[in-house]
Amino acid sequence: MENIAEAKILLVDDREENLLALETILRCENYQFVKARSGRQALKCLLDDQDFYLIIMDVVMPDMDGFETAELIYNREKLKNIPIIFLTAMDIEENIYKGYESGAIDYIGKPVIPAILRAKVRAFVELSQKNKRLLAQEEKLRTINKNLEREIHERKLSEEKIKALNKDLEERLAELQSLDAFAGSVSHDLMSPLNNISGLTRILANQYSQQLDEGGKKMVGLIQESSQKMSKLVKNLLLFSRQANAELIKDELDMNDMVGGVLREIESYRSVEGISIRVQELPKALCDGNMVKQLWINFITNAIKYSQKMEQPSIEIGSFQEDQTAVYFVRDNGVGFDMKDYDKLFGPFKRLHNASDYEGTGIGLTIVKRIIERHGGKVWAESTPGKGATFYFTLEKPKPPNCCMLYKECLLHLY
């Protein structure tokens, strides 16, 4: 609670001896006093400092009496809560209505009885202190309420934005699913005529090669090459659309066996002179085996493709742990890429190298990104041109076995 001795009181009287008398009577209470010799001087004091707890004012003063001064004080919003005690030698009964109408809280008749003055001043100062605390709490509550209203308004706006974003996302998702279905359908329909073109071209090359001159044979070779590229692209498009709609079946997967199998399946690297492929011990992951196999095939074949022209091509496959997630990486010492083009890296049909130098469909990393995101993981890359590239991806680690389950299994083996 605020110490009453710190309360500031304004004493207003046109006679110095009256001000001195008031100060003497109240001195034992240790109040802070500010004295004014007129109504105008009192108003000036209140303009400079509004932190008063009580005003004790004489009614009869020249130029501006106490009633007029009180009316001017209470016309100001910031001053209307300061209590006023009038001191008067006039007949109180005759002037009481006028005094209360001008804003007085109480009257004390002259000559002043010290005990009554001290008791009333203490009571009104305490009342003023409580009033100030209530006003401070009211202001604090008003501020809190205003902040809450703003917060509620902002939250409503956020909710509306989220609803709009969700609606937009749903529409885009439906559009993507429709496009995926369309791509799958078109790709499937394209495979049949492509197989016919490849088959007929092979027959032409094998059975009618004697009837073709060098130019004809060259054209047949170009048709075969283009058919193979088109076939790869269509197969990748089919794979891309199937990944979007295929059911995700997660199981505990031994990555060492997976990578070993992929390397045995990819025979092209064996013909790369001097290539070195080093595989670290890899942790298990909780994932869909078929999808993740496609992921490893893509990363490893890319590493081989973009490093095979180096003098000593080198590939490293490894991992490390980040919180409860396994981070896998494939690092090569190949041509690399400029990080300023990073935004294009995982986009469909975006290629960072010339197709004539490094063949490909431009959709492999898009498939990889979709597979990893469907597993709730992340994929990123780091590279410096001419110094190779490292591709990282995260997958969920299998949860450790429950101790109670292990105990039950041990009991089963015992009996």
- The answer to the question of residue 45 being in a domain is yes
* φ and ψ at residue 296, rounded to 5 degrees: -65, -40
- The answer to the question of residue 38 being in a domain is yes
Q: CB–CB of 187/238 below 8 Å? A: yes
Q: Which one of 188, 213, 242 terminates a domain?
A: 242
Q: How many CB atoms lie within 10 A of CB 47?
A: 11
Same domain, 168 and 286: no
Tally of structural domains, the chain: 3
Q: CB–CB of 54/87 below 8 Å? A: no
Same domain, 22 and 90: yes
Same domain, 305 and 383: yes
The predicted pLDDT at position 296 comes to 92
- The answer to the question of residue 74 being in a domain is yes
Q: CB–CB of 317/277 below 8 Å? A: yes
Contacts of 116 (CB under 8 A, 6+ apart): 108
Would you call 331 helix, strand, or coil by DSSP?
A: strand
Q: Is the pTM of this model over 0.95?
A: no
Distance CA 73, CA 68 (A): 9
Same domain, 288 and 263: yes
Same domain, 275 and 360: yes
What's the CATH code of the domain at 53? Answer: 3.40.50.2300
The residue type found at 103 is G
Cα–Cα nearest to 105, from 140, 53, 64, 163: 53
Q: Which one of 92, 112, 132 terminates a domain?
A: 112
- The answer to the question of residue 100 being in a domain is yes
Same domain, 197 and 94: no
Same domain, 230 and 252: no
Same domain, 270 and 345: yes
Would you call 229 helix, strand, or coil by DSSP?
A: helix
The two tokens of residue 407 are: 């105990």
- The answer to the question of residue 107 being in a domain is yes
Residues in the chain: 415
Same domain, 201 and 300: no
- The answer to the question of residue 123 being in a domain is no
Same domain, 382 and 291: yes
The residue type found at 309 is K
The predicted pLDDT at position 314 comes to 92
- The answer to the question of residue 150 being in a domain is no
Residue corresponding to tokens 């209307």: 80
User: According to DSSP H, which parts of 4-75 are helical?
Assistant: 16-26, 39-48, 66-74
Same domain, 228 and 261: no
What's the CATH code of the domain at 384? Answer: 3.30.565.10
Rounded average pLDDT per 10-residue block, the chain, 415 residues:
67 91 84 91 87 89 87 84 83 59 71 87 85 82 86 85 81 60 56 72 78 80 72 58 64 93 81 86 91 88 87 92 89 88 69 50 75 89 90 88 52 50
Same domain, 262 and 371: yes
- The answer to the question of residue 408 being in a domain is no
Distance CA 374, CA 224 (A): 36
Q: Which one of 224, 242, 260 terminates a domain?
A: 242
What's the CATH code of the domain at 237? Answer: 1.10.287
Q: Which domain holds residue 82?
A: 4-112
The predicted pLDDT at position 35 comes to 92
Would you call 390 helix, strand, or coil by DSSP?
A: strand
The predicted pLDDT at position 1 comes to 41
Biggest CA–CA distance in the chain, Å, is: 142
- Rounded to the nearest angstrom, the gap between the alpha carbon of residue 82 and the centroid of all alpha carbons in its chain is 49
